[in-house]
A and B are shown apart, each in its own frame.
Chain A
Amino acid sequence: MVKALRIALPVVGFSMLAIGAWLALAWVPAERDMGAPSRIMYVHVPAVWMMFLCSILNFGSSFWYLNKASLKVDALAEAGAEVCLLFGGIGVLLGSIWAKPTWGVYWNWDPRLTSVTVMLVTYAGMLAARRFEEDPDRRARVSAVLGILAAASAVLVWFSVKWFNSLHQVQSSPKTTYPELVFTLRWNSFAFLFIAIWFVWERYGLAMATRAGEVAPPEPPGVTASGGAA
């Protein structure tokens, strides 16, 4: 059952994404003001949503780990952080591609773009820090602390960048909605969700396999009746 699900997730996810591509590129009528470039939104927005979902997963696992240390929870946190970085990277890249025809520049210090980028740097830093801790238990605890700080930072950066830019003019995304747009966005979001869950799942499996090589078996060697001092 679990095995079947693990195979079905990517199959369903990528098939839906293929259909989603047709929906977004051909089926949905072009947006009135923004034209063709706005179609990038159908992959950009789901990617950013998955990034947030995975960062919540990382925060939750980090919090959980500090309350009850377990290498499984740490593996989940690691998977969450890496998949978050992946989808965030895709999201920022697509966002800046969209910005070029829309605003004339790839980068304009838009609060959302900026704060998401800062957040990704924070997660990249956390993943880098993990590489330099050999002891698996200490690595797990340190990354749990970093995960909580990264989440706090994401919130603070968002508010400060938004505040910072409130003096400049704030560009807004198209607000007009129609049923086809909503449906395609939802369709793609579910496609991304299935792919994201599959990624996290596979990454978690990989992380657990790595830990099996790093951590001694749960039971120490030797017979129980060890000769202690009387």
Chain B
Amino acid sequence: MSGGWARPGLLRSALVVLQKDLLIEWRTRARLNALVFFALSTLLLFSFALGPDTRLLGRSAGGYLWLAIMFSSVLALGESFRVESENAALDGLRMLPVDPKAIFLGKAAGNAALLMILSAVLVPVTLAVYDVRALLGLPKLAGVLALGCLGISAPGTVYAAITARSRAKDVLLPLLLFPILIPALIAGSKAATLVLHGDAMNELGSWTGLLFGFNVAYWSLGVILFPSVIED
């Protein structure tokens, strides 16, 4: 009878959930493509709103890159829970049972990975369209972006799980998530701008530190609070 098998631990379960999410993402890559084009078109829209002043665009590039990622993240997060609620699949995981903490870790990591892929596409386009170069080097920019994507996905996964069952999920998710993301937006934009245009005052460390603290806060809160969100 069941229960006699050696069940995987927290991290191994989280890894299976992550692999499942990535597999679904791969199977539905048409959706992923659409998301990428949405993000690219927001980047273009910002430049049209600001006019053809390349110097102004260049100076704002870091902030716009983050805005494009954040707007797209709402769509990605909503999608990641639509898949779960289609046939009550999340309920199915819950009843296996899978530790809700593992579900959180797996899904949040999956969402972070997706946002990182998205940023990898957005960076070269941003550099070209806004005519900037990564003065401190691309590895540093990648590090800032990775930290920021992780920071968006932890609270994002909690809020997407909360709104997934709501009637007004499309409005509620950005309404709840965007104000929470403001510290990540501030720190991420500042850090990205410093990487792009140089860090004369040596401030990069404190902004990435803030981003790191944001991550620590919301990944721990997510692990603690997510079970209350998905359990009845």
Contact = CB atoms under 8 A, between A and B. Distances in A.
Instruction: Indicate yes or no for A touching B, C-beta below 8 A.
Output: yes
Interface of A: 66, 118, 121-122, 125-126, 128-129, 132-133, 138, 141-142, 144-146, 148-149, 152-153, 156-157, 159-161, 163-164
B67 to A, nearest CB: 16
B166 A129 contact: yes
B13 interface: no
B176 A126 contact: yes
A132 B229 CA distance: 15
B112 interface: no
A90 B106 CA distance: 43
Contacts of A146: 162, 176
User: Dominant SS at the A interface?
Assistant: helix
B232 A138 contact: yes
Contacts of A152: 217-218, 221
A129 B228 contact: no
Nearest to B168: A132
A124 to B, nearest CB: 8
Contact of B210 (A118, A129, A153, A159): A159
Interface of B: 155, 158, 162-163, 165-168, 172, 175-176, 179-180, 182-183, 186-187, 190, 206, 210, 213-214, 217-218, 221, 225, 228-229, 232
5 contacts: A128-B172, A129-B175, A149-B225, A152-B218, A160-B183
Contacts of B176: 122, 125-126, 129, 146
B218 to A, nearest CB: 8
Contacts of B179: 118, 121-122, 125, 153, 157
Given A66-B225, A153-B179, A163-B210, 15 more contacts: A118-B182, A125-B172, A128-B172, A129-B163, A132-B166, A132-B167, A132-B168, A149-B221, A156-B183, A159-B183, A159-B210, A160-B182, A160-B210, A161-B182, A164-B186
